[in-house]
């Protein structure tokens, strides 16, 4: 198959293998989006007089046929195809003759891959949104279910003050709201049409970019054609940062689970089939799933830096360096899908210890409660603090292991519905328009 940029000489095979890299395999993920971009493009070409209606109809029929092959999993790149764009154009030319060669008028592979990636990332962001919402709903449900079960709170890894499973689960739910806000920001950046920017300097054809923007379901376009090309790398980096934010939340959730499951805590448990044993210690129940979620989340948190370093020190315009972005971002997206799903899978099967505070080691968990109780009786705070401190030192401190927290966001007032409203508002910003 001749390259679409062929000028009559062959590239050195070693150079070609190096420059193509893994692009062919990664491009398969963009096949659907490349076809959708082409459908919008040829419809626009009819409007500006570069295609006849019957030519567009023939092209659309074959593009639909290729899309069907993609959806059925039957689409493959030929051995001599450089990328997804050349493969589809070659298939159209083989099936339709010279009509297939007209499809590339008014665009470059630069804006073609840009629109493919934007459409792909929008679809992936929608999927991440749904997975985050599923985890959010589960955490809120667990928060309400266990809102009356007290849990020791720690600062500096030392026993501090009373908490609850309601607070613990609910905290991660609300933290996901912040993550959704940054995911929505990534969506807004991705939701701009670059098609028509060509190689980054526009076209002498009278392209109707408003039309392709509407056809492809973008909220707006990247108006300046140079800015559209400068979005390559920046869009990926912004999404990577939002993914890293979610990973930060998952990492901390995983670490808590590993700690709470350990014998020194014993706050939670999981069915034996969800933990692993030791080759020599028959009592072990290792939290391998959570440990791997933690490790994957750490890797995801390195993604923004990797993309930033990869795209540093380049002037504006396209550079082949950008090709490597797919190699780090696409697998990372798959990893995020997996760890979100596995987090839900595990939490759906969690059991909590309802009798944690009967252990005498948590006696001092209620010192602040006792200080506050005395303040409510009229004793100045500093004096009440000193009184309780002396009792602790003398070993005479004893407290009622109950809490009376009622302010918003506390043990007795989780504000579950208010947090849900925040999440609904954040997630509404991510809405796929019909193209």
Contact 143, 163 (CB under 8 A): no
Q: Which domains does the chain have, with CATH numbers?
A: 13-105 (1.10.275.10), 110-147+162-358+414-427 (1.20.200.10), 360-394 (no CATH)
How do residues 78-124 score in pLDDT, each as one tens digit? 877 778 888 899 999 999 999 999 999 999 989 999 999 999 999 99
Q: Which residues of 381-417 are buried (b: 16+ CB within 10 A; e: fewer)?
A: eeebbeebeeeeeeeebebeeebeeeeeeebeebebe
**Angle at CA of residue 140, ends 134 and 143, nearest 5°:** 140
Structure confidence by residue, pLDDT tens digits, 352-368: 999 999 888 888 888 88
Residues in the chain: 435
Mean pLDDT of successive 10-residue segments in the chain (435 residues)?
Answer: 52 64 76 95 96 96 94 85 84 92 91 94 97 98 96 91 95 98 97 94 95 97 94 94 98 96 91 69 73 96 94 85 90 97 96 92 88 92 93 87 88 95 96 77
pLDDT at res. 115: 96
pLDDT of residue 5: 47
CA pair distance 165, 146, nearest whole angstrom: 6
Q: What is the pLDDT of residue 284?
A: 56
- From residue 270, give the alpha-carbon distance in Å to each of 12, 253, 260, 345, 352: 57, 15, 11, 11, 9
So which residues are the catalytic ones? 156, 278
pTM as predicted: 0.90
And the tokens for 418?
């208010």
As a whole-number percent, the residues of the chain with pLDDT over 70 amount to: 92
Q: Identify whether the C-beta of residue 244 lies closer than 8 Å to the C-beta of residue 308.
A: no
| Angle ∠(116,28,247) on CA atoms, nearest 5 | 75
Residue-level pLDDT at 25:
72
């Amino acid at each position: 198959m001749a390259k679409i940029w062929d000028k009559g000489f062959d590239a050195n095979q070693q150079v070609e293998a190096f420059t193509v890299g893994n692009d062919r395999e990664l491009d398969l993920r963009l096949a659907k989006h490349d076809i959708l971009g082409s459908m919008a493009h040829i419809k626009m070409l009819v409007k500006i007089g570069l295609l006849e209606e019957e030519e567009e109809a023939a092209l659309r029929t074959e593009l639909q046929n290729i899309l069907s092959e993609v959806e059925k999993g039957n689409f493959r790149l030929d051995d001599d195809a450089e990328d997804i764009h050349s493969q589809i154009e070659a298939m159209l030319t083989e099936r339709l003759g010279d009509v297939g060669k007209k499809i590339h008028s008014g665009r470059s592979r630069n804006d073609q891959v840009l629109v493919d990636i934007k459409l792909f990332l929008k679809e992936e962001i929608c999927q991440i949104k749904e997975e985050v919402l599923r985890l959010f709903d589960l955490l809120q449900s667990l928060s309400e279910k266990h809102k009356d079960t007290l849990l020791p709170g720690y600062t500096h890894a030392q026993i501090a003050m009373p908490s609850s499973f309601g607070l613990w689960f609910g905290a991660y739910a609300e933290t996901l709201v912040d993550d959704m806000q940054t995911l929505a920001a990534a969506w807004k950046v991705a939701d701009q049409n670059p098609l028509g920017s060509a190689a980054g300097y526009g076209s002498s054809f009278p392209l109707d970019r408003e039309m392709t923007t509407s056809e492809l379901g973008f909220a707006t376009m990247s108006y300046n054609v140079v800015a559209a090309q400068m979005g390559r790398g920046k869009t990926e980096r912004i999404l990577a940062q939002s993914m890293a934010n979610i990973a930060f939340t998952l990492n901390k959730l995983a670490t808590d689970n590993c700690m709470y499951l350990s014998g020194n805590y014993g706050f939670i448990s999981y069915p034996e089939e969800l933990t692993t044993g030791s080759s020599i210690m028959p009592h072990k129940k290792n939290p391998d799933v959570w440990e791997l979620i933690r490790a994957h989340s750490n890797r995801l948190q390195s993604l923004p830096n990797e993309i930033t370093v990869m795209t540093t020190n380049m002037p504006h315009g396209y550079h082949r360096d950008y090709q490597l972005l797919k190699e780090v971002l696409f697998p990372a997206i798959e990893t995020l899908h997996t760890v979100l799903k596995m987090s839900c899978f595990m939490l759906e099967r969690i059991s909590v210890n309802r009798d944690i505070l009967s252990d005498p080691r948590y006696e001092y968990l209620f010192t602040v409660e006792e200080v506050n109780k005395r303040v409510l009786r009229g004793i100045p705070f500093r004096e009440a603090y000193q009184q309780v401190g002396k009792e602790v030192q003398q070993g005479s401190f004893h407290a009622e292991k109950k809490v009376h927290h009622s302010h918003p966001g506390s043990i007795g007032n989780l504000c579950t519905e208010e947090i849900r409203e925040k999440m609904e508002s954040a997630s509404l910003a991510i809405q796929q328009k019909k193209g």
